[in-house]
Structure 1
Amino acid sequence: MTSSVARRPHLHWGAGGAPAPVAERDDDGYADLRSYAAIGDGRTVALIARDGRIDWLPLPEMDGAPVFGALLDADNGGCIELCPVGPFTVERRYVEHTNVLATTFTTESGSVRVTDALNSGIAGRLPWSELARRIEGLTGSVRLRAAVRPGTCLNTVAPWVHQTTHGPVLRVDGVTLAVRTIAEDDVRVGDRRIDVDFTTTPGSRQLLGVVATEREPLFLPPAAAVDAGVDRTIDNWVAWMGAFSWDGPWDTAVRRSTLLLKQLIHAASGSMVAAATSSLPESPAGGKNWDYRYAWVRDSAYALTALFRFGLREETHGAISWLLSTIRRHGPEPQVVYSLDGRLVPAAEHRDVPGWRGIGPVVSGNQAAAQLQLGVFGDLFAIVSLYVENGNVLDAETGRLLAQVADLTCDRWQAKDSGMWELPEARHYTTSKLGAWMALTKAVELADAGQIPGDDARWRSEAARIRSWVEEHCWSAERGAYVWYPGSDQLDASIVLHAISGFDRGERMSSTLDALRADLGAGPHLYRYSGADKEEGVFLACSFWMVSALTLCGRVDEARDLMDELMSAANDVGLLAEMLDPATGDFLGNLPQALSHLALVNAAITVSEAG
């Protein structure tokens, strides 16, 4: 059964996306990481390859079990397939001002548009997960094949089909899924999958929908309601973007990054996930694979800078409320990272699956939670200070908590830590000390503003002591740069964050920027630290941080030129990973990566405000 097309989505023509043959997957069935687009609903994120296959979709939450996880296990991970039968070319765009993806497949016999959405409801996110894949015939006739194939959740469970009086459902441990289609006679049920065939004609509309719940009854919306949810979801995204205020350079990239960041905000708690995926390799040689489906305090600090600038109120209050309540729950000393619902992050465990293109390990959990990272003290105070600077007031309990944390900072700053890069060897990293300096500097400002109680004399004294220590021990006249840690001649790109923090925007920092670009640079990009070029790709956030640092050191023209060069880093739909190979442009690491998009957005803001 088909129906006529009621509306044509307004497509956003971004940086690329002209019709092109789809690159074949490798022999093991893995797609290139640059081929993925992301859609999200505030609960979870789906990754869709250019060939129309969804290879990653945890359910019901983004940190939950990867019910569809072929991204890390092509054989047993599970996926949702939808593509024409036979050769085709692809053109895709996000519907303008939304996180709804429209893909046009063209074959010898005709063309068809697939519009993908993780649907939202009338009052916000739905209480169940609802994936809608609208299929619209454009020209000629196109045959498509679809399959809903749940996987083994990293080889921990076995999916099965259960027949009910309302039709078949798929069960994967505690997750129950159902497929919704308009043409029921095209559906075939297997023992672990449901397959559907479609044939389009000009003006036809069909649907592949998937609804899911976990350990609760499954609501079965009619197929027409799932299809109508696509239009409602488009309208909801457009309404959200209506509150977005930006009139500056690199408009397309800033808006797309903001929409991708919104996907990474966990609607139920207000926390921001670092990335939507786990265990994508930072190095083709393997070994540097991490689970990033948790909330880093650092990311929240950078996110609030952008969200306040764009006039987005609910997200800013939600983020700081989540963070402060979570620290009170486990504190007073802040952890580096928490789960999205505010629990402590479990230790990392290796899973017995191959990983993307066989590059392991595949990991659940993260070891960073157990580390001391002094930078987290600065991140926390940066968040709170920004909240107050934007006209808000702290409650008394938060004020007392922050006074405790400031006192802890005074005690802890002289300790060795793992640094921002979460390294196994504890050292006196320069930027860690500067994180403590920033915390105490902001604490003094908050005390002066009457926002936190206590005598700030100690905080002033220790902040001055940290500054003197860094200037004496961490500056190398021979290198003309702040070094990674005292006694070393190596460099660390994260020092650029302390042009942004205001520690140094003078000659020493400007000289350090030159040294970083000379020693750690690869084209417009930067590696994280000395020697990283032998271990991993360039770190995209560092590249955009350099733009901000150049601007704040008065080198605005250089910053603009660099920012223009960096615009080629994203893929055809504006998505950024954690890293890339500077020789090939191939993505490395987890994606979409919040830190990369946050650094892009904040660089654009910094340059714009410089005039």
Structure 2
Amino acid sequence: MPSIEDLAVVGDLQTAALVDAEGAVDWLCLPRFDSPACFAALLDTPDAGRWSLAPVDGGRCTSRRYLGDTLVLETEWALAGGTVRVVDLMPLRGRYPDVVRIVEGVSGEVAMRGELTVRFDYGRVVPWVRRRGGRLQALAGPDALWLSTAAPLEGRDRSTVSEFTVRAGDRVPFVLTWTPGHDDAPPEVDAERALAETLAGWQEWVDGGERVGGRWADAVTRSLITLRALTHAPTGGIVAAATTSLPEQPGGPRNWDYRYSWLRDSTYTLQALLAAGHTDEAAAWRRWLLRAVAGDPADLQIMYAVDGTRRLPELELDWLAGWEGSTPVRTGNGAAGQLQLDVVGEVLDALHLARAAGLGAHDDAWDLQCAMLDHLEGQWRRPDAGLWEQRGEPRHFVHSKVMAWVAFDRMVRGAREHGLPGPVEHWERVRDTIHAEVMEKGLHEGRLAQSYGSAELDAALLLVPRVGFLPPDHPVVVATVEAVERELTRDGLVLRYRPESSGDGLPGAEGVFLACSFWLVDALHGVGRRDDAVALFERLLGCASDLGLLSEEWDTDGHRQLGNTPQAFSHFGLVVSAVQLAEGRHDRSDAPVGAARAGGARLP
């Protein structure tokens, strides 16, 4: 079973495959990010589905890299008898999703072995495999996979094995295509043409933006490519991660499905994309956001499927053993139905940012936003589940109240700055009431607390200056930042909260949360501690894999990644922090990040 940092991602802007450092595709859901996996070895054994393609004597690769600023992966083995390379990609999708793997002989002579084990429905369904028209078809119910290659194929123990030898200059392609089970054979794919077009397509996308991030520009570009890889192009939705049930606590129960789009990510998404000039993708995300939240504000959810589906029932797959025995393996997400008051603030903050960036100053969805604010006015005094989707008793989380303030503040500014209609004076009074209540009930010994009446801390409090609730140099902010450093860090990186304060009843602890650590970078920068911010940022870059990928969390004891991967929230944080540090700014969430854009305050 691979370590999480050993996983590389390739994708076609509708789903993604994870490839380990030994040349195996251990995870792939088809045809969409949240479809059932046909390769689920990542959460069990190879018999749950895997496609390995590597030297017979290979083991772990000698080196690997992405080709330039693309999502095309090269994995290389330098062996005693020669050197061989496997090139992995998913072409930008036509009618069907394809996985293309090309074995390239670099020098000498190398014996290769491929083993294709298809198991539909997360390892549960063994397909009927047969030859059809020169290709291999694996068929079961609604799913079919078609394998095309000139290499020899042989069925063994419910898998398809390919054994062959490559010499310098040889190129042996394999193409795996998914179709609905009832469809005819898909068109043949020219692997070399697909490689050339995929390289060109990714490079064109990168070149269509701006290179930002100063000395960290390479890390920023890789993060933006990763975020693009997590985008569902037909709808504009971005999933939180490509996986489910990679644990926050190895061997424990904190295993969740992140293959959905969280509204909470909306402002970070827009800021990260706009920072690099990817306005088309930012506009597509905004359109997804508006479609997702359309309807009765009382029905607003914290997350949706990439097509806007609301029903995401949480199920446990008890036939899978889990990554390093971490069970249960889950699909769906029960947190979708929680009351989380901060989400309205996140949505209205994002839509205000979109107006400020010129993505829609004349807002035809203003009526919907007014309805959302009216609904929040009747809800904001209630306790909720909070940012971290805690499954214990609801509480009056300070971050939730702050984001309710954000919702009213952004609507006031939308009306005043863009001439949009609304009861502005009333909204101002509610906004000021929320602010006063937080400052009265949400403090403990001169700094912010996790919830009313609590002495506990919460990393979400680091976002208070980012959203403009208090200025970054306010004494309460400074005291909160210092308290987080003192009480909520492990080996210098930030925990979301102390596990004993979660109230979720789950045993054990989790790793440090990478996004929260980027929030501390921004907060340190905001209070004028630039050197400390830079040092922490560069420490966080060291948590990335050799390919520049970040998961959700970091295990400070085991020095390894934890949680679902690649994690959009971590990469959003990297982009925003890098750009602000590089340009000497501390930008609020309602201002496009970057020196050349409106808003933000340059630091001395």
Say yes or no: TM over 0.5: yes
Within the alignment, does 1:334 sit opposite 2:300 as a pair? yes
Within the alignment, does 1:347 sit opposite 2:306 as a pair? no
Q: Residues of 2 paired with 1:277 and 1:112: CA distance?
A: 29
Quote the residue 1:275 is aligned against: 241
Q: Residues of 2 paired with 1:516 and 1:242: CA distance?
A: 39
Quote the residue 1:398 is aligned against: 365
Q: Residues of 1 paired with 2:379 and 2:500: CA distance?
A: 28
Q: Which stretch has the larger CA shift, 484-493 or 447-456?
A: 447-456
- SS of corresponding position for 2:122: coil
Cα distance, 1:454–1:333 mapped onto 2, change above 3 Å: farther
| Residue of structure 2 aligned with 1:599, choices 544, 565, 573 | 573
Amino acid paired to 2:273 = L
Within the alignment, does 1:145 sit opposite 2:113 as a pair? yes
| Residue of structure 2 aligned with 1:97, choices 40, 45, 69 | 69
Cα distance, 1:147–1:285 mapped onto 2, change above 3 Å: closer
Cα distance, 1:392–1:152 mapped onto 2, change above 3 Å: closer
Identity percentage of aligned residues: 34
Asked whether the equivalents of residues 346 and 365 of structure 1 are also in contact (C-alpha less than 8 Å), the reply is yes
Shift of 1:560: 1.3
Q: Residues of 1 paired with 2:365 and 2:200: CA distance?
A: 37
Amino acid paired to 1:246 = R
Q: Residues of 1 paired with 2:297 and 2:372: CA distance?
A: 9
Within the alignment, does 1:253 sit opposite 2:219 as a pair? yes
Cα distance, 1:330–1:405 mapped onto 2, change above 3 Å: closer
Q: How does 1:81-480 map to 2 (within 5 A)?
A: 81-87=52-58, 89-120=61-92, 125-183=93-151, 186-190=152-156, 192-215=158-181, 217-222=183-188, 225-247=190-212, 248-329=214-295, 331=297, 333-352=299-318, 353-393=320-360, 397-424=364-391, 425-450=393-418, 452-477=420-445, 480=446
Q: How does 1:565-604 map to 2 (within 5 A)?
A: 565-604=539-578
Shift of 1:551: 1.5
Shift of 1:273: 0.2
Q: Residues of 1 paired with 2:224 and 2:14: CA distance?
A: 17
Amino acid paired to 2:475 = E
Shift of 1:218: 4.8
Quote the residue 1:16 is aligned against: none
Q: Which stretch has the larger CA shift, 46-55 or 356-365?
A: 356-365
Q: Which stretch has the larger CA shift, 413-422 or 531-540?
A: 531-540
| Residue of structure 2 aligned with 1:564, choices 508, 528, 538 | 538
Q: Residues of 2 paired with 1:565 and 1:558: CA distance?
A: 11
Amino acid paired to 1:453 = P
Within the alignment, does 1:511 sit opposite 2:479 as a pair? yes
Shift of 1:148: 1.6
Deviations 1:435-494 (A, max 9, x none): 1111110011111133642212221111111111111111112xx421111211110011
Asked whether the equivalents of residues 297 and 371 of structure 2 are also in contact (C-alpha less than 8 Å), the reply is no
Q: Residues of 2 paired with 1:374 and 1:357: CA distance?
A: 35
Q: Residues of 1 paired with 2:165 and 2:117: CA distance?
A: 21
| Residue of structure 2 aligned with 1:65, choices 20, 36, 52 | 36
- SS of corresponding position for 1:162: strand
Deviations 1:243-277 (A, max 9, x none): 12123231121111111111101111100101100
- SS of corresponding position for 1:250: helix
Quote the residue 1:38 is aligned against: 9
- SS of corresponding position for 1:76: helix
Quote the residue 1:3 is aligned against: none
- SS of corresponding position for 1:189: strand
Shift of 1:298: 1.1
Quote the residue 1:546 is aligned against: 520
Deviations 1:498-544 (A, max 9, x none): 12111121121111111101111112311101236951110010001
Cα distance, 1:128–1:451 mapped onto 2, change above 3 Å: farther
Q: Residues of 2 paired with 1:65 and 1:601: CA distance?
A: 31
Amino acid paired to 1:137 = G
Root mean square deviation of aligned Cα:
1.8
Q: Which stretch has the larger CA shift, 546-555 or 410-419?
A: 546-555
Cα distance, 1:562–1:233 mapped onto 2, change above 3 Å: same
Quote the residue 1:536 is aligned against: 510
Amino acid paired to 2:348 = F
Q: Residues of 1 paired with 2:490 and 2:264: CA distance?
A: 25
Quote the residue 1:525 is aligned against: 493
Asked whether the equivalents of residues 341 and 380 of structure 2 are also in contact (C-alpha less than 8 Å), the reply is yes
- SS of corresponding position for 1:249: helix
Shift of 1:397: 4.2
Asked whether the equivalents of residues 499 and 509 of structure 2 are also in contact (C-alpha less than 8 Å), the reply is yes
Deviations 1:187-234 (A, max 9, x none): 2235743222231111111112211123552554446x1232011101
Q: Which stretch has the larger CA shift, 277-286 or 80-89?
A: 80-89
Quote the residue 2:453 is aligned against: 487
Count of paired positions = 573
Asked whether the equivalents of residues 65 and 74 of structure 2 are also in contact (C-alpha less than 8 Å), the reply is yes
For normalisation by structure 1, the TM-score amounts to: 0.91
Q: Which runs of 5+ in 2 are unaligned?
A: 502-507, 586-604
Q: Residues of 2 paired with 1:508 and 1:234: CA distance?
A: 50
Deviations 1:375-401 (A, max 9, x none): 101110111011100123256640100
Amino acid paired to 2:305 = S
Amino acid paired to 2:523 = A
Q: Residues of 2 paired with 1:48 and 1:360: CA distance?
A: 22
Amino acid paired to 2:565 = L
Asked whether the equivalents of residues 227 and 571 of structure 2 are also in contact (C-alpha less than 8 Å), the reply is yes
Cα distance, 1:528–1:195 mapped onto 2, change above 3 Å: same
Q: Residues of 1 paired with 2:326 and 2:563: CA distance?
A: 11
Q: Which runs of 5+ in 1 are unaligned?
A: 1-29
Q: Residues of 2 paired with 1:572 and 1:371: CA distance?
A: 37
Asked whether the equivalents of residues 333 and 408 of structure 1 are also in contact (C-alpha less than 8 Å), the reply is no
Q: Residues of 2 paired with 1:545 and 1:566: CA distance?
A: 11
Q: Residues of 2 paired with 1:200 and 1:573: CA distance?
A: 26
Asked whether the equivalents of residues 39 and 122 of structure 2 are also in contact (C-alpha less than 8 Å), the reply is no
Q: Residues of 1 paired with 2:68 and 2:226: CA distance?
A: 13
For normalisation by structure 2, the TM-score amounts to: 0.92
Q: Residues of 1 paired with 2:103 and 2:578: CA distance?
A: 37
- SS of corresponding position for 1:114: strand
Quote the residue 2:601 is aligned against: none
Amino acid paired to 1:127 = R
- SS of corresponding position for 1:576: coil
